[in-house]
C-alpha cells in the first residue's frame, strides 16, 4: 500500500469513528418511546452508547432485535401475510 492509500485509509477510519461517536451520543438522547419504535430498550441503548467509539463492530444481539418485526395479533388464528 502506498502512502496516499494509507492516508486515505486513516481518514476513512477517523470519519467512521466520528460517525459512531455521534450515533451513540444521539442514541442515548432518544426517548423511551422512540427507542421502542426502533425495537430497542433503554438498557440496549445505554449499553450501545457506553461502548468506546473505536469499537465499531456491529453487535449481533442489537441488530437482530432491531430487525425483528413486531408480532401481528390481527390474524385470528390464520397465518398472517408477510409484511414488506
Domain that holds residue 18: 3-67
Q: Is residue 49 part of a domain?
A: yes
User: Which alpha helices (DSSP H) does the chain contain, by range?
Assistant: 3-29, 32-37, 42-49, 60-67
Q: Is residue 13 part of a domain?
A: yes
Q: Is residue 81 part of a domain?
A: no
Which pLDDT belongs to residue 57? 80
Q: Is residue 82 part of a domain?
A: no
Q: Is residue 36 part of a domain?
A: yes
Q: Is residue 21 part of a domain?
A: yes
Which pLDDT belongs to residue 72? 46
* Report field, pTM of the whole predicted structure over 0.75: no
- Mean pLDDT in runs of 10 for the chain (84 residues)? 88 93 94 94 93 81 54 52 51
Q: Which of 27, 30, 20, 13 is nearest to 52 (CA)?
A: 20
Q: Is residue 80 part of a domain?
A: no
Q: Is residue 74 part of a domain?
A: no
Give the count of domains, the chain: 1
Amino acid at each position: 500500500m502506498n502512502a496516499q492509500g494509507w492516508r486515505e485509509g486513516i481518514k476513512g477510519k477517523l470519519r467512521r469513528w466520528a460517525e459512531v461517536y455521534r450515533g451513540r451520543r444521539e442514541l442515548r438522547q432518544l426517548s423511551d418511546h422512540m427507542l421502542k419504535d426502533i425495537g430497542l430498550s433503554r438498557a440496549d441503548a445505554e449499553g450501545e452508547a457506553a461502548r468506546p467509539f473505536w469499537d465499531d463492530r456491529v453487535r449481533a444481539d442489537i441488530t437482530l432485535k432491531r430487525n425483528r418485526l413486531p408480532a401481528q395479533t390481527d390474524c385470528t388464528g390464520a397465518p398472517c401475510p408477510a409484511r414488506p
